[in-house]
Amino acid sequence: MDLTFLKDAEVVVLRVMGKEVYFAKIVGGIPKYTPIEGLRLNPTGIVEEFPDLKGKPIEEIKKEGVKRFKQHIKSLNSLKEIRDYLQKDLEKHGYKLIMIHRKGFRPERVKWN
């Protein structure tokens, strides 16, 4: 399943394959996918989410943040739960879900309120 988000003029696509999530930015109309380890994560944002990591070295914060993200995704029971979690998390940062594309189906546009 692909989830397409929009923030200002930036388009971000998340591909959910089983319990794995890949992130893509659209470059020249072509998505470039990477696992979460390939993202430049903000240690401040990770500490906001997990306050117990405060005061630890930056690399340890990032490593633990990735580990906890993956554990949380694996704990979710269905694609719908994963989609809802990702949507809520990205909406906190100003991204809006605009399209859902499930394998074998036509893309669905998401209606905004």
pLDDT tens digits for range 12-27 = 899 999 999 999 977 7
Mean of the pLDDT values across residues 66-90? 93
Confidence band, pLDDT 50/70/90 cuts, at residue 30: confident
Question: Is the model's pLDDT at 96 over the cut of 90?
Answer: yes
Would you state the pLDDT for residue 113?
58
pLDDT tens digits for range 34-75 = 988 888 888 888 898 889 999 899 999 999 999 999 999 999
pTM of the model: 0.83
Virtual torsion, Cα 104, 17, 75, 14, nearest 10 deg:
-100
Sheet of strand 96-101, all strands in order from the earlier edge strand to the far edge: 30-35, 20-27, 10-17, 2-7, 96-101, 108-109
